[in-house]
Structure 1
Amino acid sequence: MCSRLGIDTGNIKSVVFDKSFNTYALTSLIDFFKNCSGLETISGLEYLNTANVTDISYMFAYCSQLSSLNLSNFNTTNVKNMSCMFYSCKNLSSLNLYESFNTANVTDMSYMFAYCSQLSSLNLSNFNTTKVKNMYSMFYYCSQLSSLDLSNFNTANVKNMSYMFNKCQNLSSLDLSMFNTANVTNMSDMFAGSSTLQTIYASDNFVVTGITNKNYKTGLFTGCEALKGALPAYDKTKTSSDYANYKTGYFTKLVVRNGDERYGVTGETTKLTVDNLALDDDKDFVAFEPFAAKAASYSRTMTTGTTWATLCLPFDVSLDGKNFRAFKLLSVDVDVVELEELTTSIAAGTPVIIKMNEGETELNFSVANNEIAHEVVSAADGDYQLQGIYTQKVFDKEADNNCYIVKDNKLMNPAKLLENTNNKTVGSKPFRAYMIDNSTAPAAGAKMFSIGFDNDATTAIDNLNTIADDNAIYYDLQGHRLNAPQKGINIVKRGGKTMKVIIK
């Protein structure tokens, strides 16, 4: 922008956007601040209307005095080109792109952060890279970068990854476990010069079969002296793409992601055993295959007065002496969600609804020498299922109206939970569960179910009333009519509905 106006860009120290600037519907921001080498601050970026912009390449290139950028209001929905966007922003130490950037239509990210030599961390886990074809030199010479989250990168359409992490001299590990490189045709010097890089996590989808030009297979690991995987130590004669694997090369197969912690294996047949797996509500847990833990633990403090909650853990839980009762989903009718109490243990990966004993607010679990389940065992009845989660989940008020979350003594869908607020989403922490209605017309279903639990331990969730009412007729399994529900299995008829109720 400045250079096009004939302004000496090197003398500009501050740029301020007025509110009136919002009326300009720009379609391109190519070179907008390029070569503003003295620029220190940009204010009012929220007034920069980017809704129709398709190209922001070189937008901040060579802004070598910028130390931070607030792009929280950037609308990048239609952007296709982000190449060299922050190229040579050598003083940029803070860059938050987690909440604002929509990259769903971007095809080119080459050199995007190249020479951002003061950036120490980047969280790009929200980036949608489904359409990206070019990641050439994307993080080239990010020499201070020590934390880089690419855990959700979809690289199925990327063709060029050459020099992508070249000279990232402060990175000790990289999680590329989601990388699919089937269409990549160039990987030359991909990690070269990253001298402190010790571990690269990758999966079987990291392949080099699409690279036919031998020059594009060379030098991937040149100068990566700290790197080891199946190869126990760096070998300067083994730096080509032939060693981009976890069986005979420098990679490690990722088995567990627990927050910022990573655990993996190398070689052909090794099974992972973790010494201490400490699960926490602030850490997403993802396991790609079963493994063992010498010790595993989880704890949760609930708000005082909490009675009902949900739980789903990846290891077996004994119910002996516990300060809560656990129930699994048994069946669902139009009016009733029926639960069955578990009395001995909760199997690994099984989602349950729990009832805390009176006055209890703490959950504490600790097991030794336990197999850890990498998958959740969903409890289902027809169109309904109780779904466990190991990672945080955000429910949308409109899109997730068929989901029910435990709140107080209710199961509510997001619309009901948020009906008196301006919020559009509600979140759930890891190691919990929610109920899903998978019927063809879930919008016509109940918005809320009340949890009914009386002294006779009737285990039912009812969105109308309790089971015992004047309109209900009761039978035992042999068909004999009962005056009232009895302990054991009861057949209950109410109106045109027939259901099974278990009383413990």
Structure 2
Amino acid sequence: MKHFSNQSNGSHVGRMNYGGAKFCRFALFPLMLLMLLLLPGRMVAQTDYVTTVTLKKLAGTPVGYKGETYANLFDGKKEDGNSSKWCCEFRGSAYVIFEASKAGIPVGYTITTGNDNANFGCGGRNPFSWKLYGNNEGKNGAWTLIDEVNKDKVLQDKNNTSYNFPCEGSTSYKYFKWEISAIHSGSILQVGEFELKLNTCTHLKADGSSALGAAIKTVEPTCTEPGYTTKECSLCHLIVKEYLNLLKPHTLTHHALKAATCTETGLKEYWQCNVCNKLFSNKAATTEITDAANLVIPANGHTLDSEGNCTVCGANRYALFNNLDGITDVTITDNGGYPWQILDSKAEGMQDLGFTIPNGSNVLMSSNYHKPGSSSETVIRFNVSKPILLTSQILVSSEENKTLFDFYVDNNKELSISGKKQTEYKVLLSVGEHSLRLVYKKGNRSDANADRAFLYNLKTSVTIDDYVADYESSNNTLTFKKVTSNNIESLDLNHAVIVNKPTVGDMCRLLGINSTAIKSVVFDKSFKTYAPTSLYGFFRGLTKLETIKDLKYLNTEQVTNMSYMFSDCSALTSLDVTHFNTAKVTNMNYMFYRCSKLTSLDVTKFNTANVTNMSYMFCRCPVLSSLDVTKFNTANVTNMSYMFESCSALSSLDLSNFNTAIVTDMSYMFYGCSALSSLDLSNFYTKEVGNMVCMFSGCSALKTIYASEKFVTSKVQSGEGMFAWCKNLKGTILEYNNSKTDHTYANCGTNGYFTPVFEYAEFNEGTGTLTFRRGLSKPERAYALNLEASEPGWLTHKDEIKIVVFDASFANARPTSCCSWFWYCTNLATIEGIENLNTENVTNMGVMFCRCQNLSSLDLTNFNTGNVTNMYGMFSNCQNLSSLDLTSFNTANVTNMAYMFDGCSTLTTIYASEKFVTDQVNGGDMFNECRSLKDYSFSKRDSKYANYKTGYFSKLVGKNGDDKIGAAGETLATDNLVLDDDKDFVAYEPFVAKDASYSRTMNAGTTWGTLCLPFGIAQSQETECKFYRLTGIDNECITLESYEGAEIPAGTPVLFKMNENEPTLSISAQDAGIVTEPKAGTNTDVNLVGSFTKIGGKDNQGLADTDYIIGKDKFWRVSELKKDGNSKGVGIKPMRAYIQPATASQARAAMLSIGKGDGTTAIDNLNAISNDANAEYYDANGRRTNGLQKGLNIVKRGSKTYKIMVK
């Protein structure tokens, strides 16, 4: 196995990133021998080649490092202790050109790896894709491809190991070029030796006669390829092809000329070979057509009259409105000299359209192409015979802002578009007369793109299913809802618009009202299926809007942009955004800008993981008195400028969870927050911030700003006025001075306004304890936390550290790197308080626990790895760990997992979820030497096997008591599940147990019990008891019926009665499906309720007073049992059930027995009767029977008669 060595030169961080350390190698010979035996046929070693040919380098690039140039490829040094190599920086390509001492046919080649490929950090340097060329002209001649390998799977990260590759050469060459286009990983290419196998045989005997034998195989010629015969040379035994210089004639099919029309292209006359598919322009097949596009005859285009109709094919403008259901009496009127015309795809400028109009579309297009200052205007009038939804496609290809297309419906301007845009427009039309007005108006100099507008694909629908905004003028309310054909009659179409506009303001314009008229917005439940992708400026500028009702029905799950969403809603006093799904949102800038009457705002449910812009988000919300942003994930945010500007009522603000590692702009962030007395920015990491202008300006009540060493100003270019008017601010020593207000005073020193908060580690030499703390002071010998990939200072004690403690104070720390924290702490045995390590801002966990070989357990269930990119060698050589629970790990951003578990030789179980992904990682040797993992194979050790379906992971699917249950496979399965009365069973999701079992020893004197198991019970296999289902309560009795069927389904609660002299219940199943919870009862009056976990007991919530539990073969009401001093906590053990009456009136009896009807016995008597051989049995009609039957039984036992009901 690979070993980390502290004897190598340079820091371990440098080795982690670049390699270079030397380590012990595997004893590889047996494995190599096995691999050679298993090589596929293409890799069988070639023997028919000359061993005396030598190779000489001619040219190459890159040259390679000093002493490691490409010349070393041909020096023969490839053995341990006597080896050389070509090692160089690889930037996408590399090649070497070399000459053979004698020309020959290449039949194979050998690549030998370098001397340290197997060493830690040096993997991935082998070639991955390459080509081998040959020629006989020299290094500047034209090259002919000999062999090509793409995504090689042969070369391994082993030292000085040779691998053979065959090639099927048939031509003799003297000069060769080996060109490498990819390596396995990283940026360093490394090859030990390259050997070429050449066959230099002339295939002639000494007397000059041919040494080639009889024909082995003959391939007939085709119309493109000559035929050949293969023969074997008696001298070199090479199979040689002898080509026949013959070609068959083409088999041609004639394709006649197809003339072009106004709208369709034509085809020139041509001939095509049915065998090789080549095209020819003549019957003799002497002139080949290499590009089929040359056959196409362009469409002729329309010849238009003055109204824009075609005089050749008869196409006219009315075709756009043909067959539109509900539309009649269409008339088209042109205003001016440039009428809208039918589509002419051949018109000048159409090649610059920028979009595709589907073939066969009916289209109208403007006609004032390149006519500065002109207008192309047409009006279409029509009647609507029934309510319809009119849909149209609109396309504009013009100069942005200089030329406008205005689209009017009934003289209301619906759209005004410029530039290159394509959009769909919908409108609801009531019965009556309507019009469309199309205006393409050009500027004085505006001829960009196709310089046209288009209207096409008009459709109508009387089956309406869409979303509308419905305005009620009596209360100034706008209601968003879904409208269908069933309810459209209740809608006033003159006051409703289809929601195909981006903002409420736009919709108000279409309704002919001012947006300031809206006082209330309502979202109807029917609107919840509308799924916009942008809510940019949706409520923007609704300055009179006072209430938004049922905002929960605004579906935001697909929304990416919420910027300006509530901007300038200055009359809103409250806003419920707790139902917002913001998982896809990337932009929240100006979201609540100038919501000047908003007093409170709950954004704790916001998922901001993808948000990049929060500038101006809460800016100028002056009466907002509280704001909880502790749940914000700001890992991707780059702009926080003006975020809380003028939030003058905020007296406190908790930003302890803010991740500012990539923020570049914090200007005016807290400007005018005049009620803030303190700010804790100790977790702010400002290494990328370039703008801090007026960041705290106007925070007149601000006395203290807590910060750490991570608050840096090294990239700040603009920082003037950062502390202006912070008149009460005081740092460690420095008191506010209005001449000292720029970013140079943003520090924790004697000349800064910050109060330091320290995050540090302190080592106690007496106890060997390393303790992590956070506080306002740092002991003199304590170590600051490291940043990024730097080495932590406490590693000077790595051999002495025995215990690590994360103090409770450290819970508020937000380190950004855990790289190398416990690297080579070989005596570390205990980590306490790791739940106080918050990793939500950590990006680097490389070699974090590397070589912690004394650690036997590690609880990482609280780790948040959402921002981690590096897990290189994280647990490498933790040789005492037997299991790892990485269920919480989200590795979506991780790019390096190489050697992550390398050398964890006792690791048997790794729990992980579907969030552990390896799509973009370098995962070489991820599981190297993890020999205790189930089904481990040395050939399966990279990140491909980091999953629970086909790899080494297990998914945590439940707990059996304190024991975790792991399952794996495409269908999640675990080997053995043994349930116990003293263990709670919890399943997080369904899975399969290959063997499942449960047993119970009955208390003396009892034969009845309840049972509820998470797997099915095969009744035929359980012979020691009889199962029953509860059917009801009758006075002081319960009624049962025998459970029929082959299997009792998993999770079904049942009663059972043990057979005589059977004290133990034992149930087992194979390949058993495990359910997550018991089945719920469906009876309306009473149900048997099962549980896989304990209910009641000390300090646990017990059952309800009206429930019944079994004891001594009777069911007792819980309230009755409490009289014995059990004031609370009455319940049941796991895998049992209790009776739950639907109403209190059904729980009158203190105790329930089995039976029904007069004289029906209790359980005790039933037991006695069942075991009495002298009892006589009769049915309800008095007929003698052999025993208890279904229905009413009359039983005579001595002088007593009993009625027993069996269901």
Q: How far 1:449 moved relative to its partner?
A: 5.9
Structure with max Cα Rg: 2
Superposition deviation, residue 24 in structure 1: 2.2
Q: How does 1:358-373 map to 2 (within 5 A)?
A: none
Give the Å deviation of 1:243: 0.8
**What's the counterpart of residue 400 of structure 1?**
887
Question: Which AA in structure 1 matches 2:653?
Answer: L
Structure 1 residues 98 and 401 mapped into 2: Cα distance closer, same or farther (>3 Å)? closer
Amino acid at match of 1:199: T
Which residue number corresponds to residue 548 of structure 2?
Answer: 42
In the TM superposition, residue 119 of structure 1 has moved relative to its aligned partner by 1.1
Q: Displacement, 1:242? A: 0.7
- 1:435-454 alignment to 2 at 5 Å? 441=952, 443=954, 447-448=958-959, 450=961
Equivalent positions of 1:428-439 (< 5 A) are none
* CA–CA distance in structure 1, aligned partners of residues 715 and 667 of structure 2: 14
1:79: Cα distance to partner?
1.5
Q: Corresponding residue for 2:725?
A: 223
Equivalent residue for 1:134, pick from 639, 647, 653: 639
Give the length in aligned residue pairs: 330
The whole-number CA distance in structure 2 between the counterparts of 1:161 and 1:351 is 33
Matched residue SS, 1:252 = strand
Q: Which letter does structure 2 place at the counterpart of 1:443?
A: S
1:152 aligned to 2:639?
A: no
Task: Provide the C-alpha distance between the structure 2 equivalents of 1:199 and 1:61, rounded to a whole number of angstroms.
Answer: 32
Deviation at 1:160, TM superposition (A): 1.1
Whether contact under 8 Å (1:246, 1:266) holds in the other structure is: no
Q: How does 1:13-28 map to 2 (within 5 A)?
A: 13-28=519-534
Contact 2:860 2:886 in 1 (8 A): no
Question: Do the aligned residues in 2 keep the contact of 1:228 with 1:234 (CA within 8 Å)?
Answer: yes
Counting only pairs closer than 5 Å after superposition, residues 61-460 of structure 1 correspond to structure 2 as: 61-99=567-605, 101-212=606-717, 216-248=718-750, 249-255=752-758, 264-265=775-776, 285-286=811-812, 349=832, 385=857, 387=859, 400=887, 441=952, 443=954, 447-448=958-959, 450=961
Structure-2 separation of matches of 1:162 and 1:399: 40
Find the aligned partners of 2:654 and 2:814 in 1 and give their Cα distance.
18
- Partner of 1:239, secondary structure, is coil
What code does the residue aligned with 2:887 have?
D
Describe the SS at the equivalent of 2:594: coil
CA distance in 1, matches of 2:737, 2:713: 20
Shift of 1:19: 1.8
State the TM-score, normalizing by the size of structure 1.
0.56
> Following superposition, which runs of at least 4 residues in structure 1 exceed 6 angstroms of deviation?
266-271, 380-383, 388-392, 463-466
Amino acid at match of 1:41: T
Change (3 A) 1:401 1:66: closer
Distance 1:222 1:74, change over 3 A: same
3-state DSSP class of the match of 1:16?
strand
CA–CA distance in structure 1, aligned partners of residues 834 and 653 of structure 2: 32
Q: Is the 8 A contact 2:619 2:643 kept in 1?
A: yes
Amino acid at match of 1:385: S
Q: CA deviation at 1:389?
A: 9.6
Alpha-carbon deviation of 1:465? 10
**CA separation of 1:285 and 1:220: change in aligned 2, threshold 3 A:** same
CA deviation digits over 1:330-381, x for unaligned, max 9? Answer: 9xxxxxxxxxxxxxxxx994689xxxxxxxxxxxxxxxxxxxxxxxx9xx99
Q: How far has the Cα of 1:223 moved from its partner?
A: 0.7
2:812 match: secondary structure: strand
Amino acid at match of 1:92: L
| 1:69 counterpart SS class | coil
Query: Offset of 1:442 from its aligned partner?
Result: 5.7
Partners of 1:220 and 1:62 lie apart in 2 by 27
Is 1:81–1:109's contact at 8 Å kept on the other side of the alignment? Answer: yes
Q: Which runs of 5+ in 1 are unaligned?
A: 257-261, 272-280, 290-329, 331-346, 353-376, 393-397, 403-412, 416-437, 453-462, 467-504
Q: CA deviation at 1:25?
A: 2.2
* Distance in 1 separating the partners of 2:615 and 2:834: 43
Cα offset for 1:236?
1.4
Q: Which amino acid aligns with 2:631?
A: N
Letter in 2 for 1:400: T
Residues 43-77 of structure 1: CA deviation (Å, up to 9, x unaligned): 12111122222211111111112122111121212
Contact 2:720 2:742 in 1 (8 A): yes
Cα deviation, residue 286, structure 1: 3.0
TM-fit CA distance, 1:144: 0.5
Identity between Structure 1 and Structure 2 (%): 45
Question: 1:255, CA displacement in angstroms?
Answer: 4.0
User: What is the alpha-carbon distance in structure 1 between the residues aligned to residue 731 and residue 779 of structure 2?
Assistant: 12
Deviations 1:175-207 (A, max 9, x none): 212211111111111001000111111111111
- Measured against aligned partners, the alpha-carbon deviations of 1:185-242 in whole angstroms (never above 9, x if no partner) come to 1111100100011111111111111123xxx121111111111112342111211111
1:83-125 deviation digits (Å, cap 9, x = unpaired): 11100101111111112x1212222111110001111121112
| 1:502 corresponds to | none
Corresponding residue for residue 31 of structure 1: 537
Secondary structure in structure 2 of the residue aligned to 1:200: strand
Q: 1:85 to 1:442 in 2, by over 3 A?
A: same
Amino acid at match of 1:265: L
| Contact map agreement 2:681 2:706 (CA 8 A) in 1 | yes
The 1-side partners of 2:739 and 2:781 are apart by 26
Give the whole-Å Cα distance in 2 for the aligned partners of 1:350 and 1:23. Answer: 46
**Is the 1:84–1:109 Cα contact (8 Å) retained in structure 2?**
yes
Please give the alpha-carbon distance, in whole angstroms, between the structure 1 residues aligned to 2:959 and 2:781.
48
CA distance in 2 between partners of 1:190 and 1:16 (Å)? 38
Moved more, 53-62 or 188-197: 53-62
Kept in 1, the 8 Å contact 2:774–2:813? The answer is no
Gaps of 5+ in 2: 1-502, 760-772, 783-807, 816-828, 836-848, 865-884, 890-910, 914-932, 935-945, 947-951, 964-976, 981-1207
**Partner Cα distance (2:709, 2:671) in 1:** 23
**Correspondence for 1:2 among 495, 504, 509:** 504
Q: AA paired with 2:776?
A: V
Local SS of the residue matching 2:552: helix
Corresponding residue SS for 2:603 = coil
For residues 35 and 190 of structure 1, what CA distance do their matches in structure 2 show?
Answer: 27
Shift of the 414–448 alpha-carbon distance from structure 1 to 2, 3 Å rule, reads farther
The 3 A distance-change label for structure 1 pair 128 and 234 is same
Give, as a single letter, the amino acid of the residue that structure 2 aligns with 1:152: N
Hey, what's the Cα distance between the residues in 1 that align with 2:834 and 2:562?
46
- 8 Å CA contact 1:350, 1:388 repeated in 2: no
